[in-house]
Amino acid sequence: MSHFTSKNPNVSAEYQLSTYSNIYLGNNDLETTGAATSSNLLASQQYKNEDGFGSTYLVSSEPRRSRTFVNEKTKEVWSDKRLAGIRSFVLFHLPSVAITILLLALYTVRQAWNPPGPSAEMFSVLQFAAKAHEGLILISLSDILLHRIRYGLLGEDGIPLGFLTSAHHLPAPLLYLFSWEFWGTVFYPARNRLSHAITVVLIIVLILLGIGAAPLSAIAMIPRLQWLSVEDVASSEEQMRSNFNVSSPQFITQVRYINPDIYSLELNASRLPATNVGDCLAAAYDFTTPCTSPSLFLQNFWSSITQTPGNLRSQSSVAVTRVGSWAPYRPISFSTFTSFQSHIAYASAPMFFLAHALSWEVPAVYSYSDRDMMIKAHSGNAKFDRWNQPLVVVGCQEVKQNVSITDTLEFEWDDETFGTFNLSLDLQKPVFKPLKGASSYPQSIVLNPAEHIPEVKAPLSAAIILSSASPWATNNYSGAITNLCLVQARWMEADVWINTGSPTGTQFEFDFEFNEGIYKHMKETSTEGNIIKMQKDWVEAVGSNSTDSQISAYLDLYFPSLVFLAFVEETAEITATFLSEILAIYFTDALTTLGKASSYIETSNISSTNRPPGPDDMVINYVHFEHLYAYAFSGGYSVPLAISILCLHVLIVLGHHALLFFTPRPWFSSRWESIGELLALALRSRPPPESRMENVGGGVTTARTWGAPVVVRDLNNGGKLEMVLEEDTGNATGAQLGHHSYAELARPGVKYS
């Protein structure tokens, strides 16, 4: 060994010799190289050579102690005392479990925030709380998986090398989940297949729970704006009623009901709808026409059309009856298009009696004008737990043909509801002969679908032919314009409500989406057994016009539409679209006014005009809702799913600790909680034989290496734990283990170095 000699006169040669006589070799050992010895290493100090070459020499300036780890104490690696398990449960699991149970309780009791709900700052606090909840869940999951890893290390079977750090990857598990370290270990054959499978399933489940902890906690922690029943919020019905400013006891004591036979599938002249309902619009429009003509209905319908490029609708509902009465609480919703290229339309509306009853209930919540309230109607009949309302689809096809000189009318049909077919009408048949004079005056003919147009295979409620001379000559044509309109109507279940904060009146919702997909739904679900069959006498009676017995209401709708459309655009497509919509709305109104609700005032004597509902009657029950921020399971699947998965974590925690506490011999450990501790254990352990860990210095690529079971053992019964391959402890000779002929399992209560 060579040494430097300082030329500094201030340092003696004897002192220099003592400086370099002690060389630190590692492992807390000192090697003496000179006569003089020392128990300490000497710190270095630089001196400059006198010859000016700038050479630097290390000389002793002051002594310092050797670097030995004397602060670590021996430790107990596992315990069979249940107190240790209680401590672990309280520290690592109870916080996350308690928060989840609290959230479950809030959702169970449907806890609502007082209006107007949480502020922006409170939402921020809840987001931080959700993040904290996520962190607590990850701590809990990591502790469960660490317990499995420790149990494998200290047990008989060991733990595969590829699973050794799995618990420490839970906060960011994606790289580990898609690594060969994990999957190579999963598919490598294990000696104890059951134990290996349990570990694999546990790792995957806990990783998935860890990934979902963040979004699931946020979904569950942050309340949603939803409609909450006042009956659920209030502690009793009396308290609920005390919340409302009821101006008359009639609102509480009056019972409204109706007989369910209004939902008949066979309509004839004996089952006509009520007329003259609501306030007449004649005065509002300054018309002298009484409210028995569709002219006011047309006037309101035209107002829903804006003559802009493309002729877009300005609204999708009309709040007028077919006879021109004002019905703001019962709007009829109809189909809308971006352009008039369709020959088919639909319309629907709640029953008139139901919308009228809901409108009478609105004053009961007027005292809460600053809140968004909703009143929903429910049926009191067990056979009809939901209300029905009509859904009408009308398709019209037009031909321009001089019926005075032709004997047939040819229609080409192609739409989503009625199908694709060609239809030829023989004008020589008695039912069609009136069309011969349509070039001079308008005609309307109500058909019997099964008898007159058997070519149509789709189930039909009614069919009407409307024909009239063209309003004026266009493109050198002044003959008749004839439309054949097919009608399909059904009773459909719907939820019905009225929103006090909305000006649109009564609203409804089907079980399916109310849009143009309705045509396909009707085609796929309509049969001869569920459509409403409108007999010829019923259709004619509904279309009668008391102001002029010679012209039906259908012609009052038809001819003005031709005139109006001639101003808009001279195309047949527009004519057909308008006519389909008008007729769909017209029949919807007629069907919604079938039947009239009866009233029974409980505080008055029973009479012919005040009788209680019978067993088959449908009582209109009201449920009041308020738009609140609340913890409730209603309004979709995200919240129930989030709470369910969070509760799965709770069940895993409880099951894990039940196995620990109620087993005959409990097993608890809190060692090696970090990768650093595992690394320290590996560094102080002796290396395995080269044949078992060959060429791993540059990385690991084989499943055999990752799948090798690892254990922690006291190799010489000397209180010193080391991490070794389980294969070595069972098969190696004493020489291979460094002259240690056996490996002992760690024992509870024993402290190891």
Residue 9 clears pLDDT 80, i.e. is over it:
no
247 three-state secondary structure:
coil
Residues contacting 415, CB < 8 A, separation 6+: 342, 343, 344, 395, 519
- pLDDT at site 292: 57
| For range 629-634, the mean pLDDT | 88
Look-up: residue for tokens 């913890």? Answer: 631
Please count the residues of the chain.
Answer: 753
- In the numeric block, which tokens belong to residue 116? 């107007």
| For range 706-724, the mean pLDDT | 86
| For range 22-41, the mean pLDDT | 38
DSSP type of residue 594: S
- 518's torsion region: left (phi>0), alpha (psi -120 to 50) or beta? alpha
- In the numeric block, which tokens belong to residue 160? 């595969």
Q: What is the pLDDT of residues 222-241, one digit of tens each?
A: 999 888 877 666 444 444 45
Q: What is the pLDDT of residues 722-731, one digit of tens each?
A: 888 877 665 4
- Going by C-alpha positions, the residue among 270, 273, 262, 266 that lies closest to residue 543 is 273
pTM of the predicted structure, to 2 decimals: 0.66
Residue 519's Cβ-count burial label (10 Å; 0-12, 13-18, 19+) is buried
| For range 427-438, the mean pLDDT | 78
Residues contacting 237, CB < 8 A, separation 6+: 231
| For range 372-382, the mean pLDDT | 74
The full DSSP string for 282-343 is: HHHHT--S-TTSTHHHHHHHHTTB--STT--BS-SEE-B-TTSEE-TTSPEEE---SSS--S
For residue 289, count other CB atoms closer than 10 A to its CB: 16
d(CA 639, CA 292): 52
- Going by C-alpha positions, the residue among 432, 438, 728 that lies closest to residue 558 is 438
d(CA 363, CA 500): 9
Provide the terminal-to-terminal Cα distance of the chain, rounded to the nearest Å.
36
Is there a contact between 364 and 358 (Cβ–Cβ < 8 Å)? Answer: no
- pLDDT at site 40: 40
Look-up: residue for tokens 């005040």? Answer: 610
Residue 565 clears pLDDT 50, i.e. is over it:
yes
Least confident stretch, 33-42, 164-173, 515-524, 535-544:
33-42
Distances (CA, A) of 103 to 579, 639, 647: 55, 11, 10
Instruction: Return the domain boundaries, the chain.
Output: 13-64, 75-223+639-752
Residues contacting 459, CB < 8 A, separation 6+: 488, 526, 527, 528, 531
Is there a contact between 327 and 278 (Cβ–Cβ < 8 Å)? Answer: yes
- pLDDT at site 472: 54
Least confident stretch, 382-391, 451-460, 552-561:
552-561
| For range 83-112, the mean pLDDT | 92
- pLDDT at site 280: 56
94 three-state secondary structure:
helix
Is there a contact between 240 and 624 (Cβ–Cβ < 8 Å)? Answer: yes
Element (H, E) at 741: none
Pairing of strands 373-379, 332-334: unpaired
d(CA 565, CA 219): 52
- pLDDT at site 555: 79
Residue 606 clears pLDDT 50, i.e. is over it:
yes
Is there a contact between 697 and 112 (Cβ–Cβ < 8 Å)? Answer: no
Q: How confident is the model at residue 302 (pLDDT cuts 50, 70, 90)?
A: low
Q: How confident is the model at residue 307 (pLDDT cuts 50, 70, 90)?
A: very low
- Going by C-alpha positions, the residue among 356, 192, 368 that lies closest to residue 279 is 356
Is there a contact between 682 and 723 (Cβ–Cβ < 8 Å)? Answer: yes
For residue 407, count other CB atoms closer than 10 A to its CB: 11
Strands (E) across 234-287 are located at 254-258, 266-267, 279-280
Least confident stretch, 21-25, 576-580, 597-601, 628-632:
21-25
Angle between helices 193-221 and 120-154 (to 10 degrees): 170
Residue 501 clears pLDDT 80, i.e. is over it:
no
- pLDDT at site 435: 80
Residue 262 clears pLDDT 80, i.e. is over it:
yes
In a 13 Å sphere around the CA of 180, the CA atoms on its Cβ side amount to 8
| For range 496-518, the mean pLDDT | 79
Of 523 and 251, the one with more pLDDT: 523
Maximum mean pLDDT: which of 178-182, 189-193, 578-582, 733-737: 178-182
